[in-house]
Structure 1
Amino acid sequence: MAELQQLRVQEAVDSTVKSLERENLRKLQGLLFWCSAGCCEDNQASMQQVHQCIKCCHTPLAQAQALVTNELGKFQDHLARCTTHCNDKGEDLIDAGSKALRGSGSWTVACPGVGMTTCT
């Protein structure tokens, strides 16, 4: 059961990342290359100016990639905390000798941002 939920979360994350890449990051990459090409067309610019121009072209993509990486990290931390909470809840139920746990072999925990999670 836990493996199935983990697979569903992983598929949802993969789908979201692919969608972000296809619909947003790829467009930024295209703009980066057009911008960089424009920097190289200025025959009057010094080598340093061209490099600075190209560096500026890379900034929006680098910022977007950093944002995606940061948000994915936050999501992973959130899932880790939720898993720890779920494990702690299960241990508490076992320690208390819960009949519900013995009877069903699972329990449900609310995980903010993820929804209800069934722990087994």
Structure 2
Amino acid sequence: MAELQQLRVQEAVDSMVKSLERENIRKMQGLMFRCSAACCEESQASMQQVHQCIERCHAPLAQAQALVTSELEKFQDRLARCTMYCNDKAKDSIDAGSKELHVKRQLETCVTKCVDDHMNLIPTMTRKMKESLSSIGK
């Protein structure tokens, strides 16, 4: 993928992840730590009970992190498939005898369209993840 296009996507995804972390994940981390601390305050609990309590406290955060990771992987996979299609198209054009400069432009146009299309998916993906994160642990 052209470096500029890759940078555009990376910056948009980084911004989304920072927003999710700031607005959702961080609150969940605070809850998890406070919950875990409360588990440790139970003087009558056995070591195993405290450990299980802490694991229960950590579960929503782990679920949230898994959700974000999964969504980002799906996004990356979709973008990769799109750019692979562009590469295949370019290879087919070269094989058909098209000029290299023409194929290069065609490839750049195709990759730019992939990036544009996927950039347009980010707001919806963000909203969907925020909704899912809000429902975790409730």
Query: What is the alpha-carbon root mean square deviation over aligned residues?
Result: 2.6
| C-alpha separation in 2, matches of 1:59 and 1:115 | 31
Greater C-alpha Rg = 1
Greater percentage in helix = 2
- Tell me, which stretches of 5 or more residues in structure 2 are unaligned? 121-138
Identity of aligned residues (%): 71
Query: Take 1:23 and 1:29, find their aligned partners in 2: how far apart are those partners?
Result: 11
Specify the alignment match of 1:2 in structure 2. Answer: 2
Q: Against the structure 1 CA distance between its residues 41 and 103, is the aligned structure 2 distance closer, same or farther, given a 3 Å change threshold?
A: closer
Change (3 A) 1:65 1:115: closer
Match of residue 114 from structure 1? 118
The TM-score normalised by the length of structure 1 is: 0.80
Cα distance, 1:25 vs structure 2:
0.9
TM-score by length of 2: 0.71
Query: How do residues 1-120 of structure 1 correspond to structure 2 at under 5 angstroms?
Result: 2-98=2-98, 102=101, 105-107=104-106, 108-109=109-110, 111=114, 113-114=117-118
One-letter amino acid matched to 2:118: V
d(CA) in 2 for partners of 1:71, 1:104: 33
Structure 1 residue ranges without an equivalent (≥5): none
The alignment of Structure 1 onto Structure 2 pairs a total of residues equal to 115
One-letter identity of the residue aligned with 1:65: Q
